[in-house]
Structure 1
Amino acid sequence: MRAVARSRTERASRRSGPTLRARGGEMDQALGPFLGTWTVMMAAMMLPSATPMIRLHRLGADGRLCTQLWSAAFVTGYLIVWASVGIVVWGAGIAASSILIPDQRALAVSAILLLAGVYQFTSVKATCLRTCRTPADFLLTHWHRGLSGQLRLGIEHGLYCLGCCWALMALFVGVGAMSLVWAVGIALVVLVEKLRPEGIMFGRIAGTLLIAAAVIVLARPELAMSVGARM
């Protein structure tokens, strides 16, 4: 049985090898182009769930209608946070491509799944998610005046959003290899968590499933290799 499992793992490794090398090669090109692609991707994934906050921000905490420039500063601050995360992802991708061998992929995937699953139940996740789900409370308690204040406000909201979603993004990068399918899936999870009434319960169910997936991948390493092959 061990020989069969090893054979399957080796075949999956050969199939997924080009995908993993291509990902590392993409990050090797240059930081600038990668950050551009990453920021556009984060905007597409995260802005839909931030729409209620952005719309309410336009009204201003004091009831005045914010100018387009203020709104742009708020969104820019939000995206600055996620663009900064891209620097970490870029560096981690280069490091992983040089030190991670195919035989270690199952352990790495299982660890990321477990981390993402457990984080769904932490108090930090709960606090950040609660802030993202209550835009009026956030704006009333964090409001800053002036254009620079709106940029700062956007950064603060981005940090709460990062605190809520960083583990899911680790899943997106480390397991999904930043594929379009995973981008859509993670974006939907974030959208439901933040906007739907059942979002908190949905997040806990997702966490339970991720923990179960971590155990399954650890028991069947060939599944980890096939993820890279299919994506």
Structure 2
Amino acid sequence: MLHVRLAAPAPARPVNLLPKRELAVAWTLMVLLAVPAWVLTAGQADAMGSEPGTMGLALPLFLVLWLVMMVAMMFPSVAPVAITWVRAIGRRTGGLTRAGRIAQFAGGYLLVWTGFGVLVYGVLAATGPLVAESPDVGRWIGAVAFLLAGVQQLSPLKRICLRHCRDPLGQLARYARFRPWARDLRVGAHHGLYCLGCCWGLMIVLIPLGVMNVAAMAGLAAVIFLEKLWRQGLWLSWAVGLAFLVLAGLAPFQDWLLPGLQTEMDPMTHRAAGA
């Protein structure tokens, strides 16, 4: 009897991973962009304070501050993806330098978050007057924000988008088939949509915590970074989702959880409330 020994299939090879040295350079460059963004954000937060609604900002100025926040919070974790695309997968330059192509990728990525910033501004513009008229309403707005964030963290959409953000190389290889026209811009926007699907729940908790709350932004940025790059990131997303659900239950009864939805009382009102 003829015996045929089948060879075991070779393990899949990673798609043109960057050397560690180049990844280190990529992270360093993005961190150098993120640090000034954090400094600007902290300075604006200190000057503006925290109050419900749009903080008196017109939409264009709000979007400028929002984009600075996104650079601060998101760029450290998106650096390996952008550099891997430009250096290892999307090799055809179309006459652009690598720096120009990375700028296009980042532009497409930020374009997606700009659109989400418009939506956030609309929510703030709608909720601000409600909270000013009746502070009790702010407790329920905060509870709803935490509830939505918790549900999103535990949802299948979160898992799908987070899986892409944690291991984007397969999708990046598909992007190589895109037509050359503005390809890097479109790749950045497409990756930004996955990132938005992964992180929008984390962003909306800034409504109860305060859009200019630097401590809250730093904590959320750490969660985003660890979810995408830490080995236990998937478990972390579940733990954060459960924590948000707990906060949703506590928010109607604990005002300290809602600094972004508290109105400042004048001294006469404050004394009357204390009496």
For 1:49 and 1:193, locate their aligned partners in 2 and report how far apart those are by CA, in whole Å: 10
Alignment correspondent of 1:138: 171
For 2:182 and 2:192, locate their aligned partners in 1 and report how far apart those are by CA, in whole Å: 15
**Residue 189 in 1 paired to residue 219 in 2?**
no
Matched residue type, 2:55: G
Return the match for 2:56 from 22, 26, 42: 26
Shift of 1:188: 0.4
Question: Structure 1 residues 95 and 147, CA, compared in 2 at 3 Å: closer, same or farther?
Answer: same
Contact 1:172/1:186 (CA < 8 Å) preserved in 2? Answer: no
For 1:150 and 1:180, locate their aligned partners in 2 and report how far apart those are by CA, in whole Å: 31
The residue correspondences of 1:1-231 to structure 2 (distance < 5 A) are 19-20=50-51, 23-27=53-57, 30-61=58-89, 67-100=98-131, 101-143=134-176, 144-146=178-180, 148-218=182-252, 220-225=253-258
Matched residue type, 2:125: I
Per-residue CA deviations over 1:90-114 (Å, capped at 9, x if unaligned) read 2221111122321111111111111
Matched residue type, 1:25: M
Shift of 1:44: 0.9
Higher relative contact order (CA 8 A, sep 6+): 1
Taking structure 2 as the reference length, the TM-score comes to 0.70
For the aligned residue pairs, the C-alpha RMSD in angstroms reads 2.3
Per-residue CA deviations over 1:189-216 (Å, capped at 9, x if unaligned) read 0000001110000111111111112112
% identity of equivalent residues: 33
Question: Structure 1 residues 88 and 226, CA, compared in 2 at 3 Å: closer, same or farther?
Answer: closer
Per-residue CA deviations over 1:147-202 (Å, capped at 9, x if unaligned) read 50111111000000000000110012343333111110110000000011100001
Contact 2:62/2:121 (CA < 8 Å) preserved in 1? Answer: yes
Matched residue type, 1:110: A
Per-residue CA deviations over 1:67-112 (Å, capped at 9, x if unaligned) read 2222111111001111121111222211111223211111111111
Matched residue type, 1:33: L
Matched residue type, 1:85: F
For 2:232 and 2:148, locate their aligned partners in 1 and report how far apart those are by CA, in whole Å: 23
For 2:238 and 2:258, locate their aligned partners in 1 and report how far apart those are by CA, in whole Å: 27
More moved, 70-79 vs 144-153: 144-153
Q: What SS does structure 2 have at the residue aligned with 1:197? A: coil
For 2:77 and 2:188, locate their aligned partners in 1 and report how far apart those are by CA, in whole Å: 14
Give 5+ residue unaligned stretches, structure 1: 1-17
Shift of 1:43: 0.9
Q: What SS does structure 2 have at the residue aligned with 1:26? A: coil
For 1:141 and 1:173, locate their aligned partners in 2 and report how far apart those are by CA, in whole Å: 36
Contact 2:149/2:241 (CA < 8 Å) preserved in 1? Answer: yes
More moved, 84-93 vs 189-198: 84-93
For 2:258 and 2:225, locate their aligned partners in 1 and report how far apart those are by CA, in whole Å: 29
Question: Structure 1 residues 40 and 226, CA, compared in 2 at 3 Å: closer, same or farther?
Answer: closer
Per-residue CA deviations over 1:99-132 (Å, capped at 9, x if unaligned) read 2321111111111111111211111000000011
Shift of 1:225: 4.8
